[in-house]
């Protein structure tokens, strides 16, 4: 979904110049492909509660949450940001996969009193330490009062928008959701560009390097419908006290019970690693195989690698054997030809590699305990 290549040419710094813009200034990302699936009607909360693992009633109007939708086997169908626009209206801001028809199919069988449709709303992301100053210039001082995952209505160049303090970067950031985007998208885009000049705003590609450092997952790359939340540090998304039924609940509760007894139904689990080789400063088009310290059989795979300027080493999210996830465990990574073509040493480390400005629930939970967060 997110275009991985750099907007800034290599001769002008390429992806690392974009990284500098994000972590030191402010960047704007075109994420119009982040489609909004509206669920609206008297049964909107009940329907949403049935398709997400977290309780829908904890999301109040003009607030949002990061959520997951699972299939009957407990695999992750999508991990969108869910916005509650009103008591009877939710927007799934989807990542990568198309869940509109899946949601429609669910409701054919369940018959909730809702309408489900993709609406004419497109977002841009404004990310980086200067994002609040830029957004304040655009929408006034009320921007500073928007909480993490909070929403606010606004206008820009005559276009109605909804603003959220959210993003895919681990940095301070916002999203501007342009309503009636077919007519108004250019008003919003050029309005932000003009206001951003004094803040050194740069238009860049979506920053995989920073989201990897923050441990933020990319659906289809790090996880998909064959991966359980217990495998990828999203166990907190499966509450033990949700009373209502939801898709995948039986499978997920069974898996949790097995894990609690010391048995894992899963062969692999996600970890972070640091690894050698030349700095990885381009997008990896395929998974890279992981091997144990000895032996010729692959035991796992790298999903999202990049170079960390702060750590001065390559970092990656990857899937390794369930019983080999402890920090300090050694592996070897086979780099493809375009990244050196050698086998390099790797070591499991703690995620995130670099903390988020607004720590997510996984980071907060991890800070409270020394035990691994599944």
Q: Is 197 annotated as a binding residue?
A: no
The C-alpha atoms of residue 201 and residue 249 are separated, in whole angstroms, by: 44
- Other Cβ atoms less than 10 A from the Cβ of 174: the count is 24
Answer for the pair 69, 76: CB distance below 8 angstroms, yes or no. yes
Alpha carbons 213 and 182: distance in angstroms, whole number: 34
Q: In what order do the strands lie in the sheet with 151-156?
A: 151-156, 159-164, 173-179, 121-127, 26-30, 201-203
Give which of 56, 143, 71 is closest to 102, Cα–Cα. 71
Which residue positions form the known binding site for substrate? Answer: 175
Which residue positions form the known binding site? Answer: 175
């Amino acid at each position: 979904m997110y275009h991985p290549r750099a907007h800034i040419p290599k001769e002008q710094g390429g992806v690392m110049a974009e990284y500098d813009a994000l972590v030191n200034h402010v960047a704007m990302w075109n994420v119009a492909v982040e489609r909004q699936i509206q669920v609206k009607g008297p049964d909107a909360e009940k329907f949403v509660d049935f398709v997400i693992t977290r309780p829908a009633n904890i999301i109040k109007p003009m607030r949002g949450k990061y959520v997951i939708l699972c299939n009957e086997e407990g695999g992750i169908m999508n991990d969108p940001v869910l916005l509650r626009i009103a008591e009877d209206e939710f927007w799934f801001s989807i990542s990568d996969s198309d869940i509109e028809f899946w949601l429609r199919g669910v409701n054919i069988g369940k018959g909730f009193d809702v309408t489900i449709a993709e609406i004419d709303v497109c977002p841009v992301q404004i990310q980086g330490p200067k994002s609040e100053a830029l957004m304040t210039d655009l929408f006034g001082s009320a921007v500073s009062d928007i909480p993490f995952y909070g929403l606010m209505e606004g206008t820009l160049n005559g276009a109605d928008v909804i603003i959220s303090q959210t993003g895919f970067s681990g940095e301070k950031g916002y999203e501007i959701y342009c309503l009636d985007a077919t007519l108004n998208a250019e008003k919003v885009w050029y309005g932000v560009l003009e206001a951003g000049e004094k803040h050194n705003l740069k238009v860049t590609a979506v920053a995989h390097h920073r989201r990897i450092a923050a441990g933020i997952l990319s659906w289809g790359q790090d996880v998909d419908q064959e991966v359980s939340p217990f495998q990828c540090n999203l166990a907190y998304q499966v509450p033990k006290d949700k009373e209502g039924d939801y898709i995948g609940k039986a499978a997920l509760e069974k898996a949790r019970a097995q894990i609690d007894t010391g048995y894992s139904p899963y062969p692999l689990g996600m970890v972070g690693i640091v690894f050698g080789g030349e700095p990885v400063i381009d997008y990896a088009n395929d998974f890279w195989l992981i091997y144990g310290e000895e032996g010729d059989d692959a035991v796992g795979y790298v999903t999202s690698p990049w170079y960390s300027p702060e750590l001065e080493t390559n970092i990656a999210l990857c899937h390794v054997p369930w019983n080999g996830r402890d920090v300090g465990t050694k592996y070897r990574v086979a780099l493809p030809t375009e990244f050196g073509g050698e086998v390099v040493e790797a070591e499991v480390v703690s995620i995130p590699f670099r903390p988020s400005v607004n720590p997510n629930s996984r980071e907060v939970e991890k800070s409270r305990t020394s035990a691994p967060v599944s």
